[in-house]
A = this chain, B = another copy of it.
Amino acid sequence: MAASNERIREVVESYVALVASGTAAEIVDLFAPGATVEDPVGSAVRTTREEIAAFYGTLEGLQQETRLVECRIAGGEAAFHFEVRTTTDGATFTLAPFDVMTFDDEGRITSMRAFWSDADMTVS
């Protein structure tokens, strides 16, 4: 049986929180074996646990805040808008991607695709 909407929402909220303050290992634990990550859409798809861990490892140690703006769940998939604010060298970089995720029956992420481009980044 597909994961419930409530379970999917919990995983999305955990993901957004962990992007701000989690370790790469904690984020990767949300993913199912064989999961894929395409971030941004159009870039090379990461297909192994090692590649996905390396990708999220680049976020470790950054001073980041995140918030979930809006989330829609349908057919066992989620599309959500979230905001990542990264503060470094006195400047704050804000990026607000739209992510699309699929899930297995246990609510583990089986794929993540992130829609954003450099043009969407703002600096304050």
Where the two chains meet, the residues of A that have a C-beta atom closer than 8 Å to any C-beta of B are 5, 40-43, 70, 72-81, 96-98, 100, 114-117, 119-120
Chain B residues within an 8 Å CB radius of A5: 117, 119
Chain B residues within an 8 Å CB radius of A100: 79, 100, 115
Tell me the number of copies of this protein: 2
* Closest chain B residue to A39, Cβ basis: B74
Task: Sort A-B residue pairs by CB-CB distance and give the 6 closest, nearest first.
Answer: A42-B75, A72-B115, A79-B98, A79-B115, A41-B74, A41-B75
Distance A43 CA – B114 CA, assembled complex (angstroms): 23
B81 lies within 8 A of A98 (CB): yes
Chain B residues within an 8 Å CB radius of A41: 74-75, 77
